[in-house]
Amino acid sequence: MLNISKDNNVLITPGNYKSITSVARRPHYKILNRIIIGFLIFTVACLFLPWTQNISGSGSVTTLKPDQRPQTVHNTIAGRIEKWFVKEGDYVKKGDTILFISEIKEDYLDPNLIGNTKQQVDAKKMAVESYGDKVNSLDVQAQSLNTERQLKLQQAQNKIKQAQLKIKSDSMDLQAVKTQLKIAQTQFTRSTALNKEGLKPLSDVEQKRLKLQESEAYIITQENKLLSSKNELINARVEINRITAEYSEKISKSKSDKFTALSTQYDTEAQVNKLQNQYVNYSIRNGLYYITAPQSGYVNRALLAGLGETIKEGTPVVSIMPASYDIAVETYVDPIDLPLVHRGAKVRVWFDGWPRIVFSGWPGLSYGTFGGKIVAIENFISANGKYRILVSPDDKDQKWPKELSIGAGAQSIALLDTVSIWYEIWRNLNGFPPNYYKADEKATYGKEKK
């Protein structure tokens, strides 16, 4: 650098200048320095304050039980709208009539369909009773035939015994006749010999010869009688076979008629059951013309309009909001946060339309938030790419507002572990997940055991 100035080596002293001295002596610079130092100390101190890690989510107000949510009422059968009994906003009790429809199918247009079906059922029942009486009659007939067969067989057995006794008697008579024949032969021989010797007259010989001939004739008669008795025995045995075959045929025919009657009876009973099924179906269908409220609630919206409109089966008719329900909140969390939540975890909830001041890390300082706990976690991802979580009111916390309406928006924060603020800042800068926090299982187990 060129030394052009003459006094370039002169030392400048700030005290020699009044303006510099007055500026340097201003007191607010010291105050500012103290404020900056105090702020830095306060900031460092705040870094060690506790901070509650949380998971945020958004959703809406719903009900805890599925049967308490708004539902649509459908018609069971096809028909034509004839009359409306409610309007939108009406309160209906369970079983109240909402709509009346008329029949449109030709199979059910008969106004006396139920009565005619009932008559058919009664007629078939009488036919079943008639077949039952026929079966009983055939049973009695079969029993009578069995009894008659036993009597006939006993009679034939008696005849056999009589024939056997007669054969025995005739055999004895034949033996007696043979003995008499031998005696007559001996007497005739003796008389002939004595006549030759002159000791007996010829008349005595002729008398003995006549007696011998009578004995010979009588023995033939007795043999015929014995053969006749044997034939009677054979006929009696044949009679037993005839009786057995005859009554077996009659009893078999009676049983065949019985089985035929039973088969017809069972077929008729099947027809009765079918007709009874039709009768019950017709009776139930007759009651489906009146569409009733499945539960007590308010008619939100009529989904059909007008009279004379034809509707199909399963068409939604009206939408009903149940009168009493257990409120809950369904909220959605990101997939990365799903492993950090569990059933029973504490949740803070605030609702749209309600004033609130929310400090996510300091739930105790928040205003307008309500306590809740997780009761259900859906394991399948929703259409919005998040997982659905159901939150119910916490009984140990402030009660939720009664004026909440189903479908209103809600925000939630699931409370996790409590850490220092510096740790939370460091975790977010490094992209680490929050600490997984769960109630102490050992302490809980100790309390339950105690």
Report pLDDT digits (tens) over 187-218: 777 777 776 776 667 777 677 777 777 777 77
The pairing of beta strand 97-102 with beta strand 327-333: unpaired
CATH 1.10.287.620 domain extents, the chain: 113-287
Burial of 408 (0-12, 13-18, 19+ CB in 10 A): middle
CATH 2.40.50.100 domain extents, the chain: 71-103+289-322
Task: Flag the least confident range among 31-35, 247-251, 364-368.
Answer: 364-368
184 contacts 212 by C-beta, under 8 angstroms = yes
377-421: per-residue pLDDT in tens?
888 888 888 899 899 888 888 888 887 878 888 888 777 666 777
Q: Which residues of 54-65 are buried (b: 16+ CB within 10 A; e: fewer)?
A: bbebebebbbbe
Which residues are CB-neighbours of 109 under 8 A, at least 6 positions away? 103
Which run of H or of E encompasses 36? helix 28-46
Reported CATH class of domain 113-287: mainly alpha
Which residues are CB-neighbours of 215 under 8 A, at least 6 positions away? 177, 180, 181, 183, 184, 185
77 vs 82: CA distance, rounded Å: 14
Q: Which residues of 340-362 are buried (b: 16+ CB within 10 A; e: fewer)?
A: bbeeebbbbbbbeeeeeebebbe
16 vs 10: CA distance, rounded Å: 13
71 vs 197: CA distance, rounded Å: 146
Tokens of 450: 């105690």
Question: Does the pLDDT at position 57 exceed 80?
Answer: yes
CATH 2.40.30.170 domain extents, the chain: 52-68+325-449
Cα R_g (the chain), whole angstroms:
61
77 contacts 108 by C-beta, under 8 angstroms = no
Banded pLDDT at 323 (limits 50, 70, 90): confident
280 vs 114: CA distance, rounded Å: 9
Percent of the chain with pLDDT over 90: 6
Banded pLDDT at 441 (limits 50, 70, 90): very low
Q: What is the pLDDT at residue 28?
A: 62
CATH topology of domain 71-103+289-322: OB fold (Dihydrolipoamide Acetyltransferase, E2P) (2.40.50)
Q: In the block, which residue shows the tokens 């996510």?
A: 360
Q: What is the pLDDT at residue 406?
A: 82
Reported CATH class of domain 52-68+325-449: mainly beta
Q: For the whole model, what pTM was predicted?
A: 0.55
